[in-house]
Amino acid sequence: MAQLTRIKLKAPYLILIGDLADPTYAKTGFGIVHWRPELVVGQLRFAGCKIDLGVPDLTVTEAVAAGAGSLLIGVAPIGGVVPDNWWKAIIEAAGAGLDIVCGLHFRLSDVPELADAAAISGARLIDVRKPPAKLPVGTGLRRPGKRVLTVGTDCAIGKKYSALALHEAMRQAGMNSTFRATGQTGIMLAGEGIPIDAVVADFISGAAETLSPANDEKHWDVIEGQGSLFHPGYSGVSLGLLHGSQADALLLCHDATRTNISGWEHYTLPSIGDAIDQHIAMARRTNPEVCCVGISVNTSTLPPQTRLDYLHQLQLETGLPCVDPMVDGCGAIVEHIKQLFPED
């Protein structure tokens, strides 16, 4: 069998919640239920658990009977470590043939009882932080199909959420689109993808090319951005993804009140104008026709009236549709894309 160049998960998922107490840690689970309810068969909770994803409670046996493909460990409560009392259920699931999918910072295969159970049942142990082997170097060859990439003035500024919201708005507008995941949570949501920041440096743009392959001319890949061109730690990831995506369209993501790079406070954010200009200047290398199609802003820290003024002002300054996707959705961005890229 040829080695996969992209992680592919087996749906639907049984989501492990265990005895989590803090809903913050169940964010991945809530995200999957929100964005992709059709991927979720149920949740696995222990007695006394206060968190509820609002999907059926199933035992491993019930989940298998209901057709589950994977047990998904989205998060763990303390320091990325799975609590001791969770392993029994995880090993039981692997023994019952469910793939185990994990986004934490350790290797599932390093747990001997789990490795044994999976080896006997044929279940796969999938670490979504581990990139596929045998990725190619980027060719830069133009490929058919349309691609929009979310880019940001910083990391952790809504690139994944904006891509999901744009994909959803495109779907509602009757467009043919696919969400392309580049990070662990995105991969669980999409059921496939490549953790682009874990790829060896020489293969970043090649991974991006693999992730968003040639497609119908009218099809849109909506690609989840990673890092930021302006981030002193992660800019290399962002440029490789930008070049490999050969984006036709960029959706710039920003936070209305963030002024400095989060966690790297000695760096100020670029202005919106500079962020657009520098992204376009670099992106033209692999797609000379690239344009910015809108701005997606997290305005949750602004009062409601200030929020509208802020977006209105930004729209005047840039001439682009500006939305908060959590409040406004991405309909205005989709309308603009349809004008810029007429299908007929």
Residues in contact with its own copies by CB under 8 A are 137-141, 196-202, 204-206, 229-230, 232-241, 243-244, 261, 264, 266-267, 278, 281-282, 285-286
Give the H/E segment covering residue 53.
none
| Cβ nearer to its own copies, comparing 65 with 137 | 137
Q: At closest approach, how far in Å is the CB of 201 from its own copies?
A: 5
State how far the Cα of 130 lies from the Cα of 194, in Å rounded to an integer: 8
Residue nearer to its own copies on the CB measure, 117 or 261: 261
Residue 263 CB, nearest approach to its own copies (Å): 10
**Are 147 and 141 spatial neighbours (Cβ–Cβ below 8 Å)?**
no
Our CB check for its own copies shows the closer of 74 and 240 to be: 240
Is the CB of 232 or the CB of 303 nearer to its own copies? 232
Helix (H) or strand (E) holding 29: helix 27-35
Of the candidates 337, 57, 339, the one whose C-alpha atom is nearest the C-alpha of residue 222 is 337
CB of 9 to its own copies, least distance (A): 22
| Least distance to its own copies, CB of residue 260, Å | 11
Nearer to its own copies by Cβ, of 234 and 341: the residue is 234
Within 13 Å, how many C-alpha atoms sit on residue 166's CB side? 39
CB of 120 to its own copies, least distance (A): 29
Q: What is the DSSP letter of 142?
A: -
Q: Which is nearer to its own copies, 30 or 267 (CB)?
A: 267
Q: What is the DSSP string of 131-175?
A: PPSSPPPP-----SSEEEEEEESSSSSSHHHHHHHHHHHHHHTT-
- β-strands 70-73, 13-18: how paired? parallel
Q: At what angle do helices 87-95 and 112-121 cross, to 10 degrees?
A: 20
> Least distance in Å: CB of 111 to its own copies?
21
User: Which is nearer to its own copies, 279 or 307 (by Cβ)?
Assistant: 279
Report the nearest approach of its own copies to the CB of residue 75 (Å): 20
Q: Are strands 264-268 and 291-298 parallel, antiparallel or unpaired?
A: unpaired
Q: How far apart are CA 337 and CA 334, in angstroms?
A: 5
Residue 278 beta carbon to its own copies: minimum distance, rounded to whole angstroms:
7
Sign of CA dihedral 318, 321, 326, 327: positive
Tokens 């009757």 correspond to 174
CA distances from 234 to 19, 215, 241, 269, 317 (A): 35, 29, 11, 14, 28
User: With respect to its own copies, which residue has the nearer C-beta, 162 or 238?
Assistant: 238
SS3 72: strand
Cα four-point dihedral sign 59, 61, 63, 68: positive
